[in-house]
Structures are given as structure tokens and as C-alpha cells.
Amino acid sequence: MLEVEFTHILGGFTLDIAFSSGGGVTALFGRSGAGKTSVVHAIAGLLRPRRGRIAINGAVLVDTENRIFVPAHKRRIGYVFQEGRLFPHLTVRQNLLFGSWFAARATNAASRARFDDVTALLGIDHLLARRPRRLSGGEIQRVAIGRALLAAPRLLLMDEPLASLDATRKDEILPYLERLRDHGRIPIVYVSHAATEVARLATTIVLIADGRVQAVGPVAEIMGQAGLYPLAGGFDAGAVLVARIVAHDPRWDLSELEGGFGRLVVGRIDLPVGSQLRVRILARDVIIAGERPASVSSLNVLTATVEKLVAVGAEAVEVELRAGTDRLLARITRRSQQTLGLVPGRRVFALIKAIAVERRSLGHDATTDFAADAQIFEG
Amino acid sequence: MLQAEKYPARLRRRPPVMTHLFALGPEASAAIVLSLRVSFWAMLCSLPFALATAVILARCRFWGKSLFDGVVHLPLVLPPVVTGYVLLLLFGHNGPLGRLFATIGVVFAFRWTGAALAAAVTAFPLMVRAIRLSLEAIDRRLEEAAATLGANRTLVFLAVTLPLTAPGILAGMVLSFARSLGEFGATITFVSNIPGETRTIPLAIYTLTQTPGGDTAALRLSAIAVLLSLLALVLSELFARRLSRRLSGD
């Protein structure tokens, strides 16, 4: 359990942050300059807030009222920086062991992640003798993650760890991060301005804009909310659905998914039947029909109810739909809204092209009970 | 010309290569050995102080820092004679610090130790400067990273800052050594020009130029001085290149 509540002034910018989150991945989501990095700096102890309180599993790290400020090196909070920040004078092995040189006294051997496990998890066992200079961007980030993990942290902070990488490298690292989330027992605070990453990794989203927390909640709930687009800074709005693969259709190279929303046919996904996954459906890929369409090329027609309408920009409206137990987002013109007579409560049909499902947003989803994990990290 | 018998026995045991290869007299070779010893100790003893001063100048903020900075750099701009005279007043037989050190058995006045002190003081700003530049060039975010990994300030300094400053420290040491080899004004003012004790290469060259018929010997010794300085610089360049290659991870 991470509790963060503080105010700070940086230049002319005021930060007023308050949120709490459990285990799994807590994504601090928002545009560049919203104050996300300052929040993780405050959690890490690299920034001393003017006023406030930060605690993790009940252990107080900052409490300005009681004049408590635990210095960074005593916090046991791992930090993966955007630029990796590997020590250039040390080999990869020495970089990885750096934290354990100092952590050895503070923690017992049992809780320390084992070296071999971590290097295997991150796929860096073959790099150990190299110097950071000789690593690719993706390798640097994986070593940086390993270095933070091996310092036996009780919380892992990741500040845009993929921002400096190209798309290929991102795809190389994302599965490792998912593995970390699903198998590691360390809660993660993940800073990002990329909706795709957040949709794929986050358990909880903390939406930050202009130095303030605008929304906190589970990923599907926040991503499915209309009107967040302007706050989060120009990302492509899109709902996140948790689904299970129920069948593959080799004849047409399609896969069928099932979730709280109903059934969805998408392009073939190379995962076994029964796998849980996340699907992000962009608001602009959802078409709304007033009647059940008789013959359309779209394979998916979901029954839904209009929940909320939010105008974005001059011409568009974001429509929040409820399909079964899930939320969907659609982006349509104001004219279409008028023509269809869309108001909250109206029953509609949402059309989703099978092709439209964003392949890069397809993330593995292991629905873990994070409350149980949090217990392990107490004390 | 002075006779070899006047020198202490340890100074007469000079490397034969000097006498034969360069056809140097006992006086000249004594000056070379002495110069190397004086410069070596000057460099070594000022290192911890220079490192501390560089850290203070690069990292600390306090009232009167510009004044402190000025005092550190003073020997660089002061006439060396003035530096030597101040040292004489402070560390001479009757100087307050001279008396203090005498109680623990360290005497500077008219000894080679005094020559080393004079060299250390005049070369000090050069050493501080080199280390300071190197310290300021360090990416401090690496130190932050070390802190998040559990290293306290001392350990961060030892495990990250110091190794990354190594090229600057080395450059500072070589500069200090080379500057010490050439020290003249402060030395002659503070500890005089005593053969075998305080007569370093520059003082020996000066003495030879004042002696009838000493021209050739002065020229030879000057050539040696040029060689030594060049050697120091080349060596430092080699070291620095190797070190920076190691540090940058190639």
C-alpha cells in the first residue's frame, strides 16, 4: 500500500498530489511536464516536498509535520531511470551487484531477489562481462531494471523506462515488464505518457495533469472514461477490455474473445485458448448505430447503453458506453450525435472492426490478487 | 665548482646512467635526484588536501566561497618570491607553524622538506583546478542512482564519484609534479640554495649560469629538464587515455 499526499512548488509550478494505490503496477499517466517525474522523485527521496506525507505499507518515508524525511539510500525503493543511468566505470555484473553491496546489511538474504533469477527473467545473462557503453538501448534498460530489483526494493519506480527506445526495443522490453508485474512480488510505480504502455501494464491508473491528480482507478475504469483525452494530453482515447480467448478460427485466421462486454472477434492472436489478455479499442474505431444493422462488414456488434457524452474539441464528442459489465469509448462527430439522438440511457449498437484491434496494445493479463501480494511486503 | 666530497653519502650513490650517458657531474645528478624526490613528495602530500579543496569548491555552497577560491588560487598569480617569503615567515625556525611542526620532528627551514613544501604550495592551485573540473564534469544523476541503490553519501563518493574523477586526479598529479620540477622563486627564498639539500634542477641551472665555465653543464641540465617535463606530460597523456577508455567502457 503506497500512500502519497504532498504539495511542492517547483519554479512557478505547483504540485498538489494525493493518491494511494495497492500492489501491481500503478501508472502515473499524463502529458510531459504534468509533474509525474517530481512525484516519483518525492517517493524515491530525491525531492523533498514542502509539505506532506508519503508512506509505504505503513512505513513513513516523509512526514513534514513530524519532521520525518528518510534519505534516499535508506528507503529501499528501486528506481529505473529513463536514461538507465548505468555506472560507466563498472561492468554489467558490477552494476547489477551495486545495490546488493549496500543492501546486504539492511535486508535478510531470503528476501533478496536471486541474481540468476533476475538475469534470466530479464534475459541479460549473456551481457554480464560487458561495459554499459557496449549495450543497446533496450539492453541498458533491462540491466537498469535488474540493478534496481537486485537492491531488494520494497517498491520499484520506473520513470518512462521505454521513452528513449524505438518501437522495436519497446516491444522487446514490454513482455519483461509484464512478467515482472505478474510474477514479481514488488509493487511498481510506472510513469508514462504513452497510453499503449499504460493500457498494457497498469493495474491502477493515476491520471496527473497540471500538477494535480485528476483521476485514480483501475485501468479499465479510467481508460473507459470519456473526456480524459484533453487532460492526459493528446493520446488516442480508447477503452481497455479484459478478455479471454475462447476459440481460434484457423480458416479465416481469427480469434474469438469473451469478456464482460460480450464476444469479440479479432485478428488471430498467437496465444492458447483460455489465455487472459487485455485489448485496447480506440474510440475512433468504434461506430455507433441506432438500430441493429442488418448487413455490415464489421464482425462485431455489441449491445450497449450510452452513459455519458463529453465534447472534445469543436467537432467531436466522446461517448462512454456500457456493454455488459465493461466500458467502451466511441468518438463521433457532433452531427452524428444529433442525427442519432444520443443521450445518456439510450440503447445503441457498437460496431468494432476485427482489424481495428490495436495489435500493440494486446497485453498479457494475469488477474492476480494484489491484496495478497501487499501482505508479503509488509515490514 | 663544488667537490663531490661535500655531499652526504646517500647523494653520492647516483645512478651510473646519469654520469655516463649524460656525462653529468655529481652536482648535476644530485640536483636531478633531489628534484624528483621533492616533486614526488610535494605531489603526494598535497593530493588529499587538493582533493578535499576541489570537492569543497565543486560541491559546497557557503558564505565566503569566492574568497576561499581566491586564496586557493593565490599561489598561481602571486610572485613566487612572495610565496617563499610567506612560507619563511610561517614555517621558518621562528615561524609559528615552523615551531609547531618542530615539536613533531618535522623541520622545513633549509631542508629538502621545505623545498617540497614550497613546490606543493605553488603547484596546489593547478592540482585543485584539474580535479575540480573533472568533478564538475561528472553526471550527478549517477550519484542519485547510487543513492537509490542504498549507498550513503560516503559510499557514493567512494564507489561512483572518486572512480569517475580519476582522470582529473591523475592529470592534477602530473601537473603538480611537472610544476614542482620547475619551482624556483619560492624555493630559493624559503630554503635557500644548499647543494644536495635544496638545490633542485632549476636552482642548479641558475647556479651554473652564475659560475664561469658553467655554460655547458647548464645547457645539459636544461636539456634534462626539458626531457623530464616532456616525459611527465606524455606519460600522463597515456595514462589519461587509458583511464578514460576504461571509464567510458570501451
**CB–CB of B246 and A148 under 8 A?**
no
Q: A354 to each of A122, A269, A329, B141, B144, how far by Cα in Å?
A: 33, 12, 16, 46, 47
Q: Looking at per-residue confidence, does B82 or B215 come out higher?
A: B82
pLDDT of B51 reads 96
Test mutation, A46, A73, A76, chain B, max B CBs within 10 A:
A73
pLDDT of B46 reads 95
Provide mean pLDDT across the span A259-265: 85
Task: Please indicate if any CB of chain B lies within 8 Å of the CB of A103.
Answer: yes
pLDDT of A280 reads 85
**CB–CB of A85 and B145 under 8 A?**
yes
Task: Determine contact, residues A355/A281, Cβ cutoff 8 Å.
Answer: no
Test mutation, B139, B142, B143, B149, chain A, max A CBs within 10 A:
B149
Chain A residue numbers with beta carbons less than 8 Å from the beta carbon of B158 are: none
Task: Classify the C-alpha dihedral A128-A134-A139-A141 as positive or negative.
Answer: positive
Provide mean pLDDT across the span A337-358: 82
**Surface of B (159-218) touching A: CB under 8 A:** 159-160, 163-164
Task: Determine contact, residues A195/A219, Cβ cutoff 8 Å.
Answer: no
pLDDT of A359 reads 56
DSSP single-letter state for residue A31: -
B85 in a domain, yes or no? yes
Domain that holds residue B220: 25-245
Chain B residue numbers with beta carbons less than 8 Å from the beta carbon of A132 are: 249
Provide mean pLDDT across the span B116-121: 95
pLDDT greater than 80 at residue A255: yes
Using CA atoms, how far apart are residues A157 and A27, in angstroms rounded to an integer?
A: 10
Using CA atoms, how far apart are residues A167 and B135, in angstroms rounded to an integer?
A: 36
Provide mean pLDDT across the span A247-255: 87
Q: Phi/psi at B3 (nearest 5 deg)?
A: -90, 150
User: Could you tell me how many residues make up chain B?
Assistant: 250
pLDDT of A374 reads 28
Mapping DSSP to helix (H, G, I), strand (E, B) and coil, where does residue A80 land? strand
Test mutation, B143, B148, B247, chain A, max A CBs within 10 A:
B148
Cα within 13 Å of Cα(A177), Cβ side: 32
**CB–CB of B145 and A83 under 8 A?**
no
Task: Please indicate if any CB of chain A lies within 8 Å of the CB of B66.
Answer: no
Query: What confidence category does residue B229 fall into, taking pLDDT thresholds of 50, 70 and 90?
Result: confident
Task: Determine contact, residues A199/A242, Cβ cutoff 8 Å.
Answer: no
CA angle B140, A67, A106 (to 5 degrees): 60
Q: Phi/psi at B246 (nearest 5 deg)?
A: -70, -40
pLDDT of A233 reads 65
Using CA atoms, how far apart are residues A211 and A42, in angstroms rounded to an integer?
A: 13
**CB–CB of B163 and A89 under 8 A?**
yes
**CB–CB of A71 and B149 under 8 A?**
no
pLDDT of B10 reads 53
Q: B240 to each of A90, B73, B245, B249, how far by Cα in Å?
A: 17, 24, 8, 14
Q: Looking at per-residue confidence, does A231 or B113 come out higher?
A: B113
Q: Domain map of chain A by residue range?
A: 2-223, 238-362
pLDDT tens track for A150-164: 888 889 999 988 887
**pTM above threshold 0.95:** no
Tell me the shortest Cα–Cα distance from A38 to chain B, in angstroms: 14
pLDDT tens track for A166-200: 777 787 788 888 888 877 678 899 998 888 888 88
pLDDT of B131 reads 93
pLDDT of A39 reads 92
Q: A7 to each of A40, A52, A63, how far by Cα in Å?
A: 13, 6, 12
CATH architecture for residues A238-362: Beta Barrel (2.40)
B160 in a domain, yes or no? yes
Number of structural domains found in chain B = 1
**CB–CB of B149 and A148 under 8 A?**
yes
pLDDT of A378 reads 25
pLDDT of A110 reads 47
B12 in a domain, yes or no? no
pLDDT greater than 80 at residue A73: yes
Mapping DSSP to helix (H, G, I), strand (E, B) and coil, where does residue A28 land? strand
Task: Determine contact, residues B181/B197, Cβ cutoff 8 Å.
Answer: no
Residue holding cell 538501448? Answer: A137
Task: Please indicate if any CB of chain A lies within 8 Å of the CB of B223.
Answer: no
DSSP single-letter state for residue A251: T
Residue holding cell 529513463? Answer: A82
pLDDT greater than 50 at residue B2: no
Chain A residue numbers with beta carbons less than 8 Å from the beta carbon of B247 are: 88-89
**CB–CB of A101 and B159 under 8 A?**
yes
Q: Looking at per-residue confidence, does A1 or B91 come out higher?
A: B91
pLDDT greater than 60 at residue A107: no
Provide mean pLDDT across the span A225-237: 72
Cα within 13 Å of Cα(A180), Cβ side: 30
pLDDT of A186 reads 85
pLDDT of B187 reads 94
Using CA atoms, how far apart are residues A216 and A212, in angstroms rounded to an integer?
A: 11
Chain B residue numbers with beta carbons less than 8 Å from the beta carbon of A133 are: 248-250
Domain containing B134 — which CATH number?
1.10.3720.10
Q: Phi/psi at A8 (nearest 5 deg)?
A: -155, 150
Q: A54 to each of A39, A41, A51, A148, A375, how far by Cα in Å?
A: 10, 12, 10, 20, 19
Provide mean pLDDT across the span A98-104: 74
pLDDT greater than 80 at residue A215: yes
Query: What confidence category does residue B8 fall into, taking pLDDT thresholds of 50, 70 and 90?
Result: low
Chain A residue numbers with beta carbons less than 8 Å from the beta carbon of B249 are: 88-89, 131-134
- Give A53's contacts (C-beta < 8 A, 6+ positions apart): A3, A5, A6, A60, A62, A63, A64, A65
Task: Please indicate if any CB of chain A lies within 8 Å of the CB of B107.
Answer: no
pLDDT tens track for A322-332: 888 888 888 88
Query: What confidence category does residue A364 fall into, taking pLDDT thresholds of 50, 70 and 90?
Result: low
Query: What confidence category does residue B205 fall into, taking pLDDT thresholds of 50, 70 and 90?
Result: very high
Q: Phi/psi at B79 (nearest 5 deg)?
A: -60, 130
How high does pLDDT run on average in chain A? 82
pLDDT tens track for B39-52: 999 999 999 999 99
Task: Determine contact, residues A135/A100, Cβ cutoff 8 Å.
Answer: no
pLDDT greater than 70 at residue B4: no
Closest alpha carbon within chain A to B163: A89
Task: Determine contact, residues B206/B29, Cβ cutoff 8 Å.
Answer: no
Task: Please indicate if any CB of chain A lies within 8 Å of the CB of B152.
Answer: yes
β pairing state of A300-312 and A155-159: unpaired
β pairing state of A254-259 and A262-267: antiparallel
Question: What phi-psi label fits residue A33: left (phi over 0), alpha (psi between -120 and 50 degrees) or beta?
Answer: left
* A76: nearest CB among B150, B159, B248: B150
B17 in a domain, yes or no? no
Provide mean pLDDT across the span A34-53: 91
pLDDT of A317 reads 86
Whether ipTM tops 0.85, in short, is no
If one counts every other C-beta atom within 10 angstroms of the C-beta of residue B230, the result is 11
pLDDT greater than 70 at residue A109: no
Task: Determine contact, residues A280/A358, Cβ cutoff 8 Å.
Answer: yes
SS (H, E, C) chain B: CCCHHHCCHHHHCCCHHHHHHCCCCHHHHHHHHHHHHHHHHHHHHHHHHHHHHHHHHHHCCCCCHHHHHHHHHHHHHCCHHHHHHHHHHHHCCCCHHHHHHHHCCCCCCCCHHHHHHHHHHHHHHHHHHHHHHHHHHCCHHHHHHHHHCCCCHHHHHHHHHHHHHHHHHHHHHHHHHHHHHCCCHHHHHHHCCCCCCCCCHHHHHHHHHCCCCCHHHHHHHHHHHHHHHHHHHHHHHHHHHHHHHHHHCC
How high does pLDDT run on average in chain B? 86
Query: What confidence category does residue B3 fall into, taking pLDDT thresholds of 50, 70 and 90?
Result: very low
Q: Phi/psi at A288 (nearest 5 deg)?
A: -110, 130
pLDDT tens track for B16-72: 555 555 567 788 888 999 999 999 999 999 999 999 999 999 999 999 999 999 999
CATH 3.40.50.300 matches A2-223: yes
Residues paired with residue B229 on neighbouring β-strands, in sequence order: none
Provide mean pLDDT across the span A38-63: 91
